[in-house]
Structure 1
Amino acid sequence: MPPPPPASAPQPPPQPPAPAKKSAGRNLQAAIGVGVGLGVVVLAALFIVKAVFVGVVVVAVVVGVWELTSRLAERKDIRVPLIPLAVGGAAMVVAGYLRGADGAWVAMALTSLAILVWRMTEPPHDYLKDVTAGVFAAFYVPFLATFVVMMLAADDGPRRVLVFLLLTVISDTGAYAVGWRFGSHKLAPRISPGKTREGLLGAIAFAMVAGALLMEYFIDGGHWWQGLLLGLAAAVSATLGDLGESMIKRDLDIKDMGTLLPGHGGIMDRLDSLLPTAPVVWLLLVAFVGKG
């Protein structure tokens, strides 16, 4: 009689899957490299000749409106007249630098009028949709950008602009670092699923500390408590700006506005938090230390 087959060895219990590591969601090496490169260009232009920095802002505005209008045409069939928008946007930035808020408003009005007239050369179908989007684009990109050059026009303009840039970048960094490490409660899941309430608190904390230090030691006549308010306002406006562009991109069903900046997307993907923060910082600096 043959011997019974040997009993099979007991199988080890299945191991639970390893928890997925948190991912940054982008190419960090490319993002850091591009960010450093942009920072060098901006700082060099800012502290060498003011007019060069105005030119940098003009280029960013023109590229930004091109990206925005291109996505509107591709995804929504909205045909914004690009030429009057780009020329008017550039003129808006220059007028804001030379003539302040009055010049920016006049240039904004003339740009809007040029968009309405330019679109009249085409059939009337979708006229209202196209010109409405054009006026929105003129306000959203070049008009908000004029507050950057209005800061620059002050005697200590480069310092003011640097404070504005640092607060926005530090706010974004704080939101990213704290949200990536500790974030568990979604801030606005239908708009931007990656943003968390913890990240917002990180943005506010980082920006308030930076604002207090910058106002106390970097801005003549500034005080630390003013910096706390400035940092708080900058963090909130930067977050709202980021959410606003996320809302636009969700409506257009796209991830990025462009591909010009590896690891970042397009120019508009970098301007999203800067644009709405510019008028907030400009206004508070004028209120705290004057126009300069």
Structure 2
Amino acid sequence: MTGDAKKKSAGRNLPAAIGVGVGLGVLVVASLFIYKPVFIGVIAVAVVVGLWELTSRLAERKDIHVPLVPLAVGGVAMVVAGYVRGAEGAWVAVALTALAVLVWRMTEPPENYLRDVTAGVFAAFYVPFLASFVALMLAADDGPRRVLVFLLLTVVSDTGAYAVGWRFGRHKLAPRISPGKTREGLLGAIAFAMVAGALSMQYLIKDGAWWQGLLLGLAVAVSATLGDLGESMIKRDLGIKDMGKLLPGHGGIMDRLDSLLPTAPVVWLLMVIFVGGG
């Protein structure tokens, strides 16, 4: 193995990462097509664990104490409300969650109140609100297929970025944020996602067209990359490599949700524009 290859593969247990990734994929796809409410449960669990990881790291590294209980309850409510009542339900749930965070924090001393509740409102939008768009997709008649396309394109984008960046990457994309990302990797993400998008929209989505898939793939590659960079900014500010250690070879749940969360509203919106709300 060359020095570059060693450096690029360092820090991760690749067999464990592959095993965990495949296992999660099977669990997600199985729950997605067996019974819709089961998949809503999967989203809710991911949201609660993600919030726990994020609030734990904020407390450990920045001494920011975000009330987890109202966030977790409100986060589950956002996902369920999005599935049952649509976008309006998700908005109402996020507003009530923000209010609950403000009130819950009042039980503690007033010092750093504004800092803590600001972080709490940020966490509410960053994790459960963005995740609620997956529930919005799922609520459509062909919801499982829409969610499958969303997951597939995000994974393909990440894979394309890694494969092309590992082999051809020379020019850094954002060295101060994520030194491992390259412009060549971004082009790989775009190319892989556009091809996968064209095939997915043509063969998986009723009334979908290949050209819509090209646009969808482009949008996914951009949003997934920005999401990854966004979480990298958070982790750099916190001075950590991973948000958690729950998933061997991957880090924490938040380290897997980084590209999925900002991509969910993008895919939901484009699906509505292209083929309707279902």
List aligned pairs for 1:109-124, cutoff 5 A.
109-124=95-110
3-state SS of 1:130 partner: helix
Q: 1:64 aligns with which of 47, 50, 55?
A: 50
Q: Structure 1: how far apart are the matches of 2:145 and 2:203?
A: 11
Q: Structure 1: how far apart are the matches of 2:242 and 2:116?
A: 22
Q: Structure 2: how far apart are the matches of 1:27 and 1:203?
A: 23
The structure-2 alpha-carbon separation of the partners of 1:83 and 1:20, relative to structure 1 and needing over 3 Å to count, comes to same
3-state SS of 1:194 partner: strand
**Correspondence 1:161 to 2:147:** yes
Deviations 1:10-35 (CA, angstroms, capped at 9, x unpaired): xxxxxxxx951413231110000000
Q: Which residue of 1 aligns with 2:3?
A: 20
**Correspondence 1:190 to 2:184:** no
Q: Which residue of 2 aligns with 1:43?
A: 29
For structure 1, list consecutive stretches of 5 or more residues without a partner in the other structure. 1-17
Q: Structure 1: how far apart are the matches of 2:68 and 2:99?
A: 13
Partner AA of 2:98 in structure 1:
S
Partner AA of 1:255 in structure 2:
K
* TM-score normalised per structure 1: 0.93
Q: Structure 2: how far apart are the matches of 1:21 and 1:131?
A: 44
**Correspondence 1:219 to 2:209:** no
Q: Structure 1: how far apart are the matches of 2:2 and 2:31?
A: 46
3-state SS of 2:181 partner: strand
3-state SS of 1:22 partner: helix
Deviating above 4 A after TM superposition, structure 1's stretches of 4 or more consecutive aligned residues are: none
Q: Structure 1: how far apart are the matches of 2:42 and 2:240?
A: 27
* TM-score normalised per structure 2: 0.98
> Offset of 1:209 from its aligned partner?
0.2
> Offset of 1:228 from its aligned partner?
0.2
Q: Which residue of 1 aligns with 2:244?
A: 258
Q: Structure 1: how far apart are the matches of 2:94 and 2:264?
A: 17
Q: Structure 1: how far apart are the matches of 2:239 and 2:163?
A: 27
Deviations 1:63-107 (CA, angstroms, capped at 9, x unpaired): 000000000000000000000000000111000000010000000
**Correspondence 1:242 to 2:225:** no
Q: Which residue of 2 aligns with 1:286?
A: 272
3-state SS of 1:113 partner: helix
Deviations 1:160-206 (CA, angstroms, capped at 9, x unpaired): 00000000000000000000010010000000000000000000000
Partner AA of 1:256 in structure 2:
D
List aligned pairs for 1:72-111, cutoff 5 A.
72-111=58-97
List aligned pairs for 1:203-214, cutoff 5 A.
203-214=189-200
The structure-2 alpha-carbon separation of the partners of 1:206 and 1:118, relative to structure 1 and needing over 3 Å to count, comes to same
3-state SS of 2:3 partner: coil
Q: 2:16 aligns with which of 14, 27, 30?
A: 30
Percentage of pairs with the same residue: 83
Q: Structure 1: how far apart are the matches of 2:178 and 2:242?
A: 13
The structure-2 alpha-carbon separation of the partners of 1:119 and 1:200, relative to structure 1 and needing over 3 Å to count, comes to same
**Correspondence 1:135 to 2:121:** yes
> Offset of 1:245 from its aligned partner?
0.1
Partner AA of 1:235 in structure 2:
A
Q: Structure 1: how far apart are the matches of 2:23 and 2:52?
A: 22
Aligned residues: 275
Q: Structure 2: how far apart are the matches of 1:77 and 1:178?
A: 39
